[in-house]
Structure 1
Amino acid sequence: MTYEIIDTTLLDPVAQPLLDALNIEYTTRYSEFRPAGSATVSEELARYPAELFVPPEGAFIVILRDGETVGGGAFKRYDATTAELKRIWTHASQRRQGLARRVVQELETRAMRQGYRRVYLTTGFRQPEAAGLYTHAGYEALFDRSIAPEIHFRLPFGKDLLEPGRTDSLRDLIHPGPLGRR
């Protein structure tokens, strides 16, 4: 299969399938924790203006297969040296084939090109596949694993892009307690 990676914006129509699918995914996985359902998820997805995800401080990519959006993700500035990954998604039919890992790699490459030396992200406690992806991609869990994931609600991870495996450079990204809902 041939995939095409395009740099675009959240406002591009090619991004809409990604955003729609994330809305469904988050609504389904967290329905008992978000009483307002998809309205709350839509607000979360729209929380950050699209301009945060464009160079020079951000990026947004979509992966197409035969003209269909099958994956993508973004990053925005977290601090002067750290990019924050957001909206990593792979179409259900394309999962477990390395596509999400490719999205992460592409975003890491762009982040380094734009001058970032670290990456930070959070994923939800009901997304063990995402937590596994980040762990296998060399990300360090920045939360106390002895506490049940649902207490944390959002699970933070970080990675030093210049020296993967180095963890002392991530200390300031660690939050003192569970992140909870936001």
Structure 2
Amino acid sequence: MTNAAPRRSDLWAVTTADVTTPEALELLRDYYYDVANRYYRLHLGREGTPEELEGGLAESPSDDLAAPSGLFLLGRHHGTAHSCAGLRRYDATTVELTRVFVRPALRGTGGGAALLGAVDEAARSMGADRIVLDTRLDLIEARTLYLRNGYQEIPAYNNGPYAQVWYGKDLTALAPQSS
């Protein structure tokens, strides 16, 4: 007898999306508020003010996560968008992963793994052999997710103001084999 219960990742569907849709913009706002408030709590002992958060969001546009320079992915859990990720071209064979977010209430349900699986496919569709990203040390859930999904720590490739650790993933070693 087989277990017919759905796997956690089967509850998620990830597709490319227009980064300017209301759904995408809402997720990007939730992402920004989440990471910014974590920073404010850790370094300033308080939440960010609405003015600080909206100002920071405005200074961090995501319009490069659209063709021809990139793409945007939405993850849906039971049909509702609850996660996102963006890819932007870094160089001829490398894309940079950014804006990875799963709403806190759904973390641990397989959404991050489903998202990163779709990221690999999307990066290959862009002609990339490698994915790179930067993140902060305090974003432990994200760092754990990356390591569990084949990313390895790499030397710094940028000097972003919040970049504290850098990861990379070689897609050529993981390329699907044709029969």
- TM-score class normalised by the smaller sequence: 0.7 to 0.9
Q: Distance in 1 between matches of 2:163 and 2:171?
A: 26
Runs of 4+ in 1 over 4 A off after TM superposition: 33-36
The residue aligned with 1:139 is 151
How large is the RMSD of aligned CA atoms in angstroms?
2.5
CA 1:66–1:118 in 2, change beyond 3 Å: closer, same or farther? same
Deviation of 1:97 (Å): 1.8
Say whether the 8 Å CA contact 2:151–2:168 is kept in structure 1.
yes
Deviations 1:123-150 (A, max 9, x none): 1121011111111111110149xxxxxx
> Share of identical aligned residues, percent?
24
Q: How far 1:13 sits from its partner (Å)?
A: 1.2
Closer, same or farther: CA 25–111 of 1 in aligned 2, 3 Å: same
The alpha-carbon deviation at position 67 of structure 1 amounts to: 4.1
3-state secondary structure, aligned to 1:30 = helix
**Quick check: 1:17–1:69 contact (8 Å CA) kept in 2?**
no
Partner of 1:6: 15
Preserved CA contact (<8 Å) 2:72 2:87: yes
CA drift of 1:64 comes to: 2.0
Contact kept in structure 2, 1:57 and 1:114, CA below 8 Å: no
Give 2:39's aligned amino acid.
Y
Equivalent residue in structure 2 for 1:102, among 101, 107, 114: 114
1:108 deviation in Å?
A: 1.0
* Greater relative contact order (CA < 8 Å, ≥ 6 in sequence): 2
- Greater Cα shift, 132-141 or 20-29: 20-29
C-alpha distance in 1 between matches for 2:29 and 2:21: 13
Q: Give the TM-score taking structure 1 as reference length.
A: 0.74
Task: Map 1:57-136; keep pairs closer than 5 Å.
Answer: 57-136=69-148
One-letter amino acid of the counterpart of residue 154, structure 1: Q
Q: 2:165 aligns with which of 155, 159, 162?
A: 155
Instruction: Give distance in 1, aligned partners of 2:27 and 2:14.
Output: 14
2:32 aligned residue? 23
Q: 1:53-86, CA deviations, whole angstroms, 9 ceiling, x for partnerless residues?
A: 2245421111223442211111000111001001
| Number of corresponding residues | 155
Which runs of no fewer than 5 residues in structure 2 stay unpaired? 1-9, 157-161, 175-179
Larger Rg: 2
What is the alpha-carbon distance in structure 1 between the residues aligned to residue 168 and residue 59 of structure 2?
Answer: 21
TM-score normalized with structure 2 length: 0.75
